[in-house]
Amino acid sequence: ELGHQVILIVGDWTAQIGDPSGVSITRPMLSAEQVQANAETYMKQFFKVVDKERTEVRWQSEWFGKFNLADVIQLTSKFTVAQLLAREDFSNRYNAGRPIAVTELLYPLLQAYDSVVIQADVEFGGTDQKFNFLVGRELQSMVGQRPQQCFMTPLLVGTDGSQKMSKSLGNYIGVDEPPNEIYGKVMSIPDSLIMDYFELLTDVADKELGEFRQGLGQETINPMELKKRLGRELVAQLYSQ
């Protein structure tokens, strides 16, 4: 809406590795077929929020499909193992004696190279992507590009109120679920998540959010009424009604 060109990169190569961000164990690698199937599902969900007609879709295989061993060696030569182990989740696993696959160490470099290919000026993601984003900035500087800005959002806590929202943990609200399912799951969230969900998932004005927060703190607003409002807001956004 502000005139920027949005580029959606489908990570059909990095997805085979699995993003190690915030993960305490090595993830199993996915097949190309699994990645393709997942990508189709993700794009269907993505375009419920972002205008498909104004979005450029790129697949990593456009550039990594042409990579050879010399390209890999050149890319990896730009960073040290010490730099990669400075990443908190890698550091924690290393110190605890838990395995870290070499492919996982490659993940930040491959994501960084995406930014170089499309000459990104802004990259969006959750706060768990900070390390990957900064590697992208550094790699862009190395090749003479202006480093991208990093726009990060807090991670959304799942409906269980404790862990990051994840399909594998079963604590998620799917954007392509039926309206009654979305509404029902919203009604089940802990009261402690109400304001986070309003702030991260809706366009309700800050002034009104302040009133909600004050009302909850002073117990002059019934949390159930706010959950009903939240459920209606989310359904309206995803189903244009």
In a domain, 160, yes or no: no
Q: 181 or 12: which carries more pLDDT confidence?
A: 181
User: Can you give the pTM of this predicted structure?
Assistant: 0.83
Report, as an integer, the average pLDDT of 227-236: 97
Beta strands in 78-235 (DSSP E): 122-126, 149-153
Token pair of 228 as six digits = 């009903």
For residue 145, the model assigns a pLDDT of 98
Cα–Cα distance measured from residue 136 to residue 24, given in angstroms and rounded to the nearest whole number: 23
CATH assignment of the domain containing 57: 3.40.50.620
Q: Same domain for 200 and 117?
A: no
Cα–Cα distance measured from residue 81 to residue 163, given in angstroms and rounded to the nearest whole number: 30
pLDDT digits (tens, 9 = 90+) for 164-186: 999 889 999 999 999 999 999 99
Cα–Cα distance measured from residue 150 to residue 215, given in angstroms and rounded to the nearest whole number: 34
Q: Same domain for 22 and 136?
A: yes
Q: Same domain for 91 and 128?
A: yes
CB 223 within 8 A of CB 182: no
Q: Could you tell me the pLDDT band of residue 42, with boundaries at 50, 70 and 90?
A: confident
